[in-house]
Structure 1
Amino acid sequence: MTTKLSLATLDKIQATATIPGYDRSVLSAGIVHFGVGNFHRAHQAVYLDDLFSSGRDHDWAIIGAGVLPSDEAMRAKLAEQDFLTTVVEQDNNRSAARVTGPMIDYLRPGHATATIAQLAEPAIRIVSLTITEGGYFIDPASGTFNPAHPAIVADGQTPDDPKTVFGLIIAGLKARKAKGLAPFTVMSCDNIPGNGEVTHAAVCGLARLSDPGMADWIDANVAFPNGMVDRITPATGPREVGIVASEYAIDDNWPVFCEEFKQWVLEDHFPAGRPALESVGVQFVPDVAPYEHMKIRILNGGHAAIAYPAALLDIHFVHEAMEEPLIQAFLQKLEFDEIIPVIPPVPNTDLNDYYRLVETRLFNPKIADTIPRLAQDGSNRQPKFILPSTADRLARGEDVVGLSLVSALWCRYFAGISDSGKAIAFNDASADRLQEAALKAKDDPKAFLALSDIFGEVAQSELFQRRFAQALTTLWEKGTRETLKLYIDGKLGD
């Protein structure tokens, strides 16, 4: 028999799960967070839960916020359980459930007036974001903010009725400025290099469309610290809901599963104040960039590298992909030969050891992370996680056999069928044009590289063109397994 998750039932639930070590009624809001997805609830919210349980900083609770209509489903499910979440942390040798409670409210998506009013409250000192890599209106090829995106143009024309998260942030800052209040800090928690700088560009770029003076004020007065976040957090489905019910006797509408490992590195730039997160393991550093490069290229780049060969071989789970000797060897060679050598040094960190840790994490069967999750949204992820390494090697005059193979595997994946003939379901906003280009590329590899908004200047490299064509042709002629073998043996492209 299960117990429905709520504040009233925590006494029963503590028999099978750790519950918050603080009285939720004493919390008050200090943060508005946009993008209450699984990652946020397994990461930022967990750090704050640890902090509150230590008896500190109870005035830094979270109010959730959404922008998309789909955010209402999450709001409704969490509201039914007093905004509590069951987080199941799973290592190779242990599993444990905890109930976290740092979120005390969730603003209704689409209610701009109420959201702006909350942002203008003096107690709100941080606005944080996990809106995915694709939510920042970045031109993939240039890596810069795109002011011509229709959603941005619309907010620029109607700044008093914003529909984007950046429009809401600007409206909230305007309201604070009018009240004579100090601005809040804007803190991105997404996997984007220089995520604070990217957020700064988006907010100022949108503001400049309607109010250049406000854009200048934001530029001069609002802090956008860079940060690196890390915790593997798969999607929630019926399986996860069922495990929480059967193993922990908790009826949770939307639990979160994650690995035990977590990391958060932040630049300490919070003029309006911040919670004492360093006391619960957050690293505050002068420059996050080295840590970002390491994580995004080794872990996220590794995710992107194994996703497409695994999908072409009909492998569903990430740990099963790593158990395939060809994929494991492919990833090791790619990382050690081409990715790690172009990553700048990271303070007190051995990059080879970091990769070994990543490899151990990917082998974790309890996480049950899926290949479809890793394969989604490649049109945003490839330019951020793979192509920067490619560009760096080309700039050094170094070969890109493995990185070109990653791009070729992505192209082959978008032909729409696995090596066995099984249909592939895409999850990418650009899926239609990617598939059209991928099918043309079977006969003319340059057709895929013509996606200039994705490949940018990398596609102009004769060496990359040649290596990509060799890899793609081999994939079509010999299949994924044989192509991986040739790469591992150092014979691909000979």
Structure 2
Amino acid sequence: MTRLNRTLVNSDFKFPVDVDVQKYPDALPERVIQFGEGNFLRAFADWMIHLLNQQNLFNGRVVVAQPIKEGLADMVNEQDGLYTLLLRGLREGKPVEEKAVISSISRCLNPYTQWDAYLKCAEDPLIEYVISNTTEAGITFDKEDKFENQPPTSYPGKLTSYLYHRYQFFKGDASKGMVIIPCELIDRNGDNLKKAVLQYIKLWNLPEEFAGWVVGSNHFLNTLVDRVVTGYPREEIKEITNFLGYTDSLVNTGELFHLWVIEGPKELAERLPFHKIGLQVIWTEDMTPYRTRKVRILNGAHTASVPAAFLYGLEAVGEMMDHEVMGKYVRQIIQDEIIPSIDLDKNMLEEFANAVVERFQNPYIKHYLLSILLNSSSKFKARVLPSIIEYHKLNGTLPKKLVFSLAALIAVYKDGNIDGTGMKATREKGEFIMKDDMWALEFFAATWSKFDGSKQSAQEVAATVLKNTQLWDKDLTEIEGFVDRLGEYLYKIVDVGMQKTVAELIS
């Protein structure tokens, strides 16, 4: 079996499957420095740049900086930056697979052993873009981090050192600022990254003129990214390797759907013309509507439906969507209650909702319900509670299924006992471990310990939960009818079970 490398791609080797191969472009200059060599960026930003290069619309490559000490730099370089990307999912209800060898990465640096080479990139005037995905915890300020560290421990610290070297090398030239596009999954990621960089400048006593250059000559863009990337297909790799006809240690997999919302000047869209090749990249002056749409419909539908589906006895999202009862429950939550609660263009919401349902049905992705239940209390506050409150404001009534979804979540904690860092709980199919903030687990355990099986006791559980301002940042018992409706659903779940209760709810 031949190993995937530059020679293979540029040879007359005939791939045994229909793989879209871009000849490795030795002559293309490096134009992007990327922090993160993991699965997500290789299936997202690097894939998009590869497609732009195919159409001669960008003509640049990506030099990657490994953000932590241990990473994939050696493996990426052994394969000359090349890797196979398999995108799989449903399109108009039919299974689709797309395959390509991605050639946009030139090399991968490890700043922990190649600090000088890393800073040398800052001297290249053609490298004008920064892309990053260093996990949600990556954009942080560490007051113990030091400028003389080679490298600083945090990603914002590494970026500050990089920008300072560029500032010094080009003598503060305003035209040598960078376009910085973080993809970390935190709200206002560009603003938070800029804030951390400015904190390091102050901590390290770097010149005020440099701080002025960072603010005035660089674009820190807020973004929203959306694509499920399933990564290296460990369980399928033997079959995939035989299918491809070559060995690739960096095979990457993901879903077909993708969305990149970038809040920034429209002129930048012409410098990164993703829209010209049909990619779902939206440049906007305000990303708030897109974030609301994603959080409330995609994330909200997950969080609102999974507790009931898990107690029903199901295991994965795909199984839930294909189930006669639970599949209808999810669709009704989205169409009847979430979308009507959002005061945005309904066509935009419907289009996104249809894509969400198709994504939930993706047969190539096994998304386990128990993993989605992780930290459910905080997720519910951010993703579902706003829909309940807004629906009530707009319609004067409570959304039945969304209130029921809270009852289902509360029921997950019933009969649970704290066990180490989690809660040992039970459903009809047996025991499971529920993970959440420890204070939340302790609260639900204490609340359910007072339940005596009566309707009145169910009402008391409902009132206790809704009054908890640590959970919701407000006293939800002030919403008329909320305690009564929630208590009614809690009692029904306990009295007749989840399956009968959901069947009656959707009828």
Regarding TM over 0.5, the answer is yes
User: 3-state DSSP class of the match of 1:89?
Assistant: strand
Give the Å deviation of 1:390. 4.5
SS where residue 219 of structure 2 aligns? coil
The alignment partner of 1:24 has SS state of coil
Alignment CA distance shift 1:316-1:7 (3 Å) = farther
Q: Measured at CA, do residues 350 and 66 of structure 1 come closer, stay the same or move farther in structure 2, by a change above 3 Å?
A: same
Query: 1:377: how far off?
Result: 6.0
Is contact 1:89–1:258 with CA below 8 Å preserved after alignment?
yes
Q: Is the 1:391–1:458 contact (alpha carbons within 8 Å) kept by the matching residues of 2?
A: no
TM-superposition CA deviations, 1:190-211 (whole Å, max 9, x none): 4444443344444445655555
- Post-superposition offset of 1:30: 1.8
Q: Is the CA contact (8 Å cut-off) linking 1:3 and 1:251 kept in structure 2? A: yes
Name the CA shift for 1:44/1:467 in 2 (closer, same or farther; >3 Å).
farther
| Aligned-pair Cα RMSD in Å | 3.8
Q: CA deviation at 1:100?
A: 0.8
Q: Residues 318 and 360 of structure 2 are in contact (CA less than 8 Å); yes or no, is this contact kept in structure 1?
A: yes
Give the equivalent residue in structure 2 for 1:323: 322
Q: Deviations over 1:229-270 (max 9, x none)?
A: 332323544224234224333432242222223233333438
What SS class does the counterpart of residue 87 from structure 1 fall into? strand
Residue 185 (structure 1) aligned with residue 179 (structure 2): yes
**In the alignment, which of 275, 280, 293 is matched to residue 278 of structure 1?**
275
2:359: which partner in 1? 361
Taking the aligned partners of 1:111 and 1:219, their CA distance within structure 2 comes to: 30
Q: Report the Cα distance in structure 2 between the residues aligned to 1:337 and 1:329, rounded to whole angstroms.
A: 11
* Inter-CA distance 297–33: structure 2 relative to 1 (3 Å threshold): farther
After superposition, residues 384-399 of structure 1 pair within 5 angstroms as: 384-390=382-388, 392-393=390-391, 399=398
Residues 249, 205 of structure 1: CA spacing in aligned structure 2 closer, same or farther, 3 A cutoff? same
**Which stretch of the first structure deviates more once superposed, 99-108 or 121-130?**
121-130
**Tell me, what secondary structure is at the counterpart of 1:25?**
coil
Secondary structure of residue in 2 paired with 1:16:
coil
Choose which of 102, 105, 113 in structure 2 pairs with 1:103. Answer: 105
Per-residue deviation, 1:163: 1.5
Displacement after TM superposition at 1:125 (Å): 1.4
Q: How does 1:372-451 map to 2 (within 5 A)?
A: 374-376=372-374, 378=376, 381-382=379-380, 384-390=382-388, 392-393=390-391, 399=398, 401-410=400-409, 412-413=411-412, 415-424=423-432, 432-443=438-449
Does the alignment pair 1:488 with 2:477? no
Q: Distance in 2 between matches of 1:128 and 1:39?
A: 12
Q: Is the 8 A contact 1:160 1:171 kept in 2?
A: no
In structure 2, the CA distance between the partners of 1:278 and 1:353, relative to structure 1 (3 Å rule), is: closer
Seen in structure 2, the aligned counterparts of structure 1 residues 66 and 343 have a Cα distance that, compared at 3 Å, is: farther
Contact 2:341–2:388 (8 Å) recurs in 1: no
Query: CA separation in 1, counterparts of 2:468 and 2:271?
Result: 42
Work out the CA distance in 1 between the residues paired with 2:78 and 2:309: 38
Rg comparison, structure with higher value: 2
TM-score (norm 2): 0.77
Provide the residue aligned with 1:8 in structure 2. Answer: 7
Residue 53 of structure 1 aligns with which residue?
54
Tell me which of 81, 84, 87 is aligned to 1:83. 81
Per the alignment, residue 141 of structure 1 pairs with none
Partner residue of 2:62?
62
TM-score, length basis structure 1: 0.79
CA contact (8 A) 2:309 2:326 kept: yes
Cα displacement (A) at 1:99:
1.3
Greater RCO between the two (CA within 8 Å, min separation 6)? 1
TM-superposed deviation, 1:184: 1.4
Deviations 1:281-332 (A, max 9, x none): 3333333332232223212322333344344445343211211233322222
Query: Displacement, 1:50?
Result: 0.7
CA positional deviation for 1:275:
3.1
Alignment of 1:81-160 (within 5 A): 81-90=79-88, 91=90, 92-108=94-110, 110=112, 113-114=115-116, 117=119, 120-121=122-123, 122-136=125-139, 152-155=142-145, 158-160=146-148
Change (3 A) 1:323 1:423: same
| 1:233 and 1:369 in contact (8 A); partners too | no
Residue from 222, 227, 240 that aligns with 2:223: 227
8 Å CA contact 2:183, 2:189 repeated in 1: yes
Counterpart of 1:168? 158
Please say if residues 419 and 480 of structure 1, whose CA atoms lie closer than 8 Å, have aligned partners that are also in contact: no
- Cα separation, partners in 2 of 1:313 and 1:271, compared to 1, 3 Å: same
Corresponding residue SS for 1:154: coil
Name the count of aligned residue pairs.
Answer: 467
Change over 3 Å in CA distance of 1:411–1:103 after alignment to 2: farther
> What stretches of structure 2 of length at least 5 have no aligned partner?
414-422, 450-460
Consecutive unaligned residues in structure 1, runs of 5 or more: 138-150, 490-494
Q: Flag the 1:283–1:350 CA change in 2: closer, same or farther, 3 A.
A: closer
Q: In structure 2, what is the equivalent of residue 146 of structure 1?
A: none
Secondary structure of residue in 2 paired with 1:261: coil
The aligned residue for residue 419 of structure 2 is none
CA contact (8 A) 1:234 1:369 kept: no
Whole-angstrom distance in 2 between the partners of 1:312 and 1:176 = 56
CA distances 1:360-379 after superposition (whole Å, capped 9, x unpaired): 22212134444455445657
Give the Cα separation in 1 of the matches to 2:382 and 2:300.
Answer: 8
**Corresponding position of 2:452:** none
C-alpha deviations, 1:9-48, integer Å up to 9, x for none?
A: 3344633252432333223322222233333222212111
Aligned partners of 2:131 and 2:182 also within 8 Å: yes
1-structure distance, mates of 2:409, 2:360: 20
Distance 1:244 1:256 in 2: 11
Amino acid aligned to 1:305: A
Q: Which residue of 2 aligns with 1:289?
A: 288
Residues 437-478 of structure 1: CA deviation (Å, up to 9, x unaligned): 443343366887798676434768556677666655655555
State the SS of the aligned residue for 2:21.
Answer: coil
Contact 1:49/1:101 (8 A) holds in 2 = yes
Does the CA-based 8 Å contact 1:207-1:215 persist in structure 2? yes
Determine helix, strand or coil for the equivalent of 1:98.
strand
Change (3 A) 1:389 1:81: farther
Residue 427 of structure 2 aligns to a residue whose secondary structure is coil
* CA distance 1:136–1:73, shift in 2 (3 Å): closer
Quote the offset at 1:167 in angstroms: 1.9
User: C-alpha distance in 2, partners of 1:445/1:265?
Assistant: 39
Correspondence for 2:247: 251
Percent same amino acid at aligned positions?
22
In terms of mean alpha carbon deviation, does 368-377 or 321-330 score higher? 368-377
**Cα 1:218–1:307, aligned 2, differ >3 Å: closer, same or farther?**
farther
| Contact 1:188–1:226 (CA under 8 A) maintained in structure 2 | yes
